[in-house]
């Protein structure tokens, strides 16, 4: 904060998918902003731990007298776990058997602990650092690389969608613009009611429909006329186990990270839906974009994909 009225925001990862949405929402909705600084870098994909980087951010806040920090965590700090235990409309207090089997959720959980623990730390100038953490469910929207990858793989498969997740699986998806909006509201909450918001973690969801990841993506890709090939779940589990074994065997010579493994398949097949009621109570979060707006914006972007015929001709 540069004075009593003007705000300076630093967005780490500001050139990424969520960072671009956060920039747009902040410029549109934060009337007191006088400057937004974007910080980004290319990260070596071999690096899996985030805790050191998070500690560096906290230290920078201490040295520079920064008072407010909102951390982008993930629902995966809670689950789904590889045992397939469902989590239905859960909140931040819902009991769950948390078991981190992969580096991403493990490092996210550790980074979140560091951020929450830093709440109340004294910073330069005798001020106090106030922190909170947001846990989005599966984020989607314009420029979402995973949705683009889903489309590209279908094109590479000759216009076939390879499906295998049980139809009754439900996941909570959240539009990137609404995630950005919650970040802005959480930052305001830290400034206005630090005794309530500080040191807290919040699930982040909107009004997007509960569907499996596959069915959710199909809502946007159906116009391409892909045929659907349903693979038995048992076959997918066999391939996932095989990939894990091959990854272990190849570890001494190279780092191979197949998209399909036991963890990713467990996540895809396990129902995991959350409630954002705590965020509504603590800093008055409601989605900025309705489901109709989220769908229209995402569909407009998907409609720019070249289509199956154009891919074949290229």
Catalytic residue set = 104
Q: Are 286 and 230 in contact (CB under 8 A)?
A: no
Query: If we measure between CA atoms, which residue out of 145, 132, 203 comes closest to residue 173?
Result: 203
d(CA 235, CA 213): 19
d(CA 120, CA 123): 9
Backbone angles phi, psi at 177, to 5 degrees: -65, -35
For the chain, state the CA radius of gyration: 21
Cβ burial, residue 257 (10 Å; 0-12/13-18/19+): exposed
Bridge partners, residue 9, by sequence: 36
Q: Are 21 and 141 in contact (CB under 8 A)?
A: yes
- The neighbour count for residue 137, using CB atoms within 10 Å, is 23
């Amino acid at each position: 904060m540069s004075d009593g009225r003007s705000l300076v925001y630093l967005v780490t990862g500001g050139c990424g998918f969520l960072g671009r949405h956060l920039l747009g929402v902040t410029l549109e909705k934060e009337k007191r902003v006088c400057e937004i600084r974007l910080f980004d870098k290319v990260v070596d994909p071999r690096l899996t731990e985030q805790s050191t980087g998070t500690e560096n951010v906290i230290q920078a806040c201490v040295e520079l007298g920064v008072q407010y920090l909102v951390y982008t965590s993930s629902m995966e700090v809670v689950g789904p776990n590889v045992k397939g235990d469902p989590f239905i409309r859960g909140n931040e207090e819902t009991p769950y058997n948390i078991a981190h089997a992969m580096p991403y959720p493990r490092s996210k959980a550790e980074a979140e602990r560091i951020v929450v623990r830093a709440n109340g730390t004294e910073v330069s100038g005798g001020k106090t650092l106030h922190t909170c953490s947001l846990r989005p469910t599966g984020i989607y929207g314009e420029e979402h690389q995973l949705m683009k990858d889903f489309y590209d793989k279908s094109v590479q498969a000759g216009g076939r969608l390879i499906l295998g997740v049980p139809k009754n699986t439900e996941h909570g998806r959240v539009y990137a613009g609404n995630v950005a909006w919650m970040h802005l509201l959480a930052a305001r909450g830290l400034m206005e009611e630090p005794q309530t918001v500080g040191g807290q973690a919040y699930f982040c969801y909107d009004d997007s429909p509960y569907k499996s990841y596959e069915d959710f993506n199909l809502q946007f890709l159906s116009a391409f006329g892909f045929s659907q090939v349903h693979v038995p779940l048992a076959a997918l589990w066999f391939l996932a186990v095989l990939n894990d074994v091959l990854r272990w065997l190849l570890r001494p010579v190279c780092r191979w990270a197949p998209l399909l493994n036991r963890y990713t398949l467990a996540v895809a097949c396990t129902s995991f839906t959350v409630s954002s009621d705590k965020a509504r109570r603590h800093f008055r979060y409601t989605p900025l974009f309705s489901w109709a707006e989220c769908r229209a914006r995402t569909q407009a972007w998907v409609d720019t994909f070249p289509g199956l015929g154009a891919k074949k001709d290229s």
